[in-house]
Amino acid sequence: MKHFSSFRGAVLICASLIILLASCASAGSTAAKTEASVQSYDVVVVGAGGAGLSAAIEAKEAGASVVILEKMPMIGGNTLLSGGEMNAPANWVQQKLGIKDSADLFYQDTLKGGDNKADAAVVRALADNALVSAEWLRDKVGVKFDPENLFQFGGHSVKRALIPEGQTGYELVSKLKAMADALKIPFKMETKATALIVENGRVAGVKATTAKGQQLTFKARKGVVLATGGFGANVEMRKKYNPVLDEHYMTTDSPGSTGDGIVMAEAAGAALANMQYIQTYPICNPKTGIISLVADTRFDGAILINQDGKRFVEELDRRDVISNAILAQKGGYCYQLWNEPVARIENTDIIHKDEYNQLVAQKLLYKVDTLEEAAKAFDIPYDSLKETVDRVTGFAQTGKDTDFNYRATFLPLDKGPYYIMKAVPSVHHTMGGLVIDPATHVKNASGALIPGLYAAGEVTGVVHGSNRLGGNAIADAITFGRIAGENAAAGR
């Protein structure tokens, strides 16, 4: 695999979304203009993704004066580039569909999915508050979720991931941004935080640099919230903690995911955990590294096959399991195959039309009438592929996959039209980061809390253990972002 910048491809897919966000800056936003060199607020939030926006909103609503620092020229971070799906146990769509779920089951799935290397108390806080966070997004922020469908990501016992309108993080980010603007929260764009200010053992602010090179000091009377994301786009940092994931691997992440908050907090005495655990997303564009949202058909019955036309892994297993299984195949890539009935469950080819057209133009995805044409598209042995498809169709009829124990239900694949695409794993999420408690206080190496410092989202390192389950990143960012904002505003 060659190394590419995922950002360029991301712009091709969601250019209109980014342009809209860049053009809708609030009156309080700044973009590299001359600033007062010293500014004071109750709460300083670093990072304008899902966690940072949620923290800032909650802090402001709690009566604190708040500012958001964002080093990129646009907001959203990885939340914007994601599919935006959010796990919430016992949610309203599950109730409508008759799916039984609970916070306890979500807690167990999440701990198990991370090989029990997460902090159980923090996972408990996530499980107990995820539904409330989803309801907050729906009822207060105005996020629209699909009222009829859910995703079941790998490692989850049941379907529980709410799907935002448009099936991207844009629905979340745009609505959170609108609420922040209504609350008159200022955004300092292209303003890179460089160091935490520590006074008398307490984090009292942030030093930052603008795009023009101006040095700024943001004093925080009550607290600083780090919501700077992970380090998936920082190849050198990846190699430091996991040498295998070097420049040969592409990434799905925003170019802003360079680990700044982790580095700053560690310099201020913060403890780190699980830094070696870096997740790859299994189904990505082989030319750009971008996550494929068209391929979300995998959650509805699409199958993964190798160059011999054979299945080699359960399609709803954990991301790390699937990625490793793909890398073990000849060439380190796979194909995903589905038919029209599967395609029409979520209409990913229509909803993500730009990505679909890009994949077709790159000759990475073909829509064909027959299975024989699907095999020919990538020079797969037809007889072998037909045998695989016949077996899966049989599993659809019996409801039991005797090959890989598929945990959901297949649909018959005996009739076309068919879709077949090539895919590779790409670096997607860094599980390691700052050690926090359930209230999002950052801890030092001795386990003591660092006064005035809070963290939420991918910058933290004890929520997911060795592996993050799909749909848990948004639940993590929103839930702990809100908790961090509330606690920072109260100075507790």
CATH number at residue 43: 3.50.50.60
Ranges assigned E (strand) in 340-376: 365-368
Question: Are residues 187 and 256 both part of a single domain?
Answer: yes
Question: Are residues 409 and 446 both part of a single domain?
Answer: no
Q: Is residue 319 flagged as an active site residue? A: yes
Q: Please give the Cα distance from 198 to 220 (Å, whole number).
A: 11
Asked whether residue 49 is domain-assigned, the answer is: yes
Cα 38 from chain centroid (whole Å) = 34
User: What does 8-59 look like in DSSP terms, one character per residue?
Assistant: HHHHHHHHHHHHHHHHT--TT-EES----SEEEEEEEEE--SHHHHHHHHHH
Question: Are residues 353 and 475 both part of a single domain?
Answer: no
Task: Please say whether the dihedral angle defined by the alpha carbons of residues 106, 109, 114 and 115, taken in this order, is positive or negative.
Answer: positive
Give the model's pLDDT for residue 289.
93
The whole domain housing 339 covers 280-427
Question: Are residues 324 and 421 both part of a single domain?
Answer: yes
Looking at residue 166, the DSSP 8-state letter turns out to be G
Give the model's pLDDT for residue 24.
44
Angle at 121 between CA 117 and CA 126, to 5 degrees: 95
- Active-site option among 138, 160, 238, 319: 319
> pTM score, two decimals?
0.87
Question: Are residues 229 and 273 both part of a single domain?
Answer: yes
The residue among 427, 452, 479 that closes a domain is 427
Asked whether residue 144 is domain-assigned, the answer is: no
Kindly indicate the confidence band of residue 370, based on its pLDDT and cuts at 50, 70 and 90: very high
Question: Are residues 218 and 294 both part of a single domain?
Answer: no
| Number of compact structural domains in the chain | 2
Instruction: Characterize 278-301 residue by residue with b for buried, 16 or more Cβ atoms within 10 angstroms of its Cβ, and e for exposed.
Output: bbbbbbbbbbbbbbbbbbbbbbbb
Question: Are residues 62 and 206 both part of a single domain?
Answer: yes
**% of residues, the chain, pLDDT over 70:** 93
Give the model's pLDDT for residue 29.
53
303's enclosing H/E stretch is strand 303-305
Q: Please give the Cα distance from 170 to 21 (Å, whole number).
A: 9
- Give the pLDDT confidence of 379-412 residue by residue, as tens digits: 999 999 999 999 999 999 999 999 999 999 999 9
Q: What is the CA radius of gyration of the chain?
A: 22
- Give the pLDDT confidence of 415-447 residue by residue, as tens digits: 999 999 999 999 999 999 999 999 999 999 999
- Give the pLDDT confidence of 10-58 residue by residue, as tens digits: 433 344 344 344 444 443 455 546 889 999 999 999 999 999 999 999 9
End-to-end Cα, the chain, rounded Å: 48
- Give the pLDDT confidence of 318-334 residue by residue, as tens digits: 998 999 999 999 999 99
Question: Are residues 60 and 179 both part of a single domain?
Answer: yes
Q: Please give the Cα distance from 397 to 401 (Å, whole number).
A: 10
The residue among 388, 409, 427 that closes a domain is 427
